[in-house]
Amino acid sequence: MLYYDQSDQQYYPERFDEPLEVASCVGNVSLLDGDPFAHTHVVLSRADGSTVAGHLDSATVFAGELYVRAFEGTLERAHDETTELDLWPL
């Protein structure tokens, strides 16, 4: 999981090596430098009901379901000088 610090304009990794349940996972797949790029936010719950959340970087899952909706046109990310992020130039 990654946490984005707006002050530092950096992503910081967090690793959770424990069983967690996906409570919510929302994101999109667009293009970054011509390649598919997944931008995914996740909320994970522990057995006690507490949660952790952030940008999903990678995970191993026991079971999961995915709903994908395709849009007409292409979503391609471009570097935004103000935020230093790769965003949709809308």
Residues spanned by the domain of 49: 1-60
pTM of the full structure: 0.82
Answer whether residue 54 is part of any domain.
Answer: yes
Answer whether residue 86 is part of any domain.
Answer: no
Answer whether residue 48 is part of any domain.
Answer: yes
Answer whether residue 6 is part of any domain.
Answer: yes
Answer whether residue 72 is part of any domain.
Answer: no
What is the structure's pLDDT at 53? 95
Answer whether residue 19 is part of any domain.
Answer: yes
pLDDT, block means (10 residues), the chain with 90 residues: 91 94 95 95 97 94 90 90 90
Q: Which amino acid is at 18?
A: E
Total structural domains in the chain?
A: 1
Residue 9 is part of a domain; what is its CATH number?
A: 3.30.1330.80
CA distance 23 to 7: 28
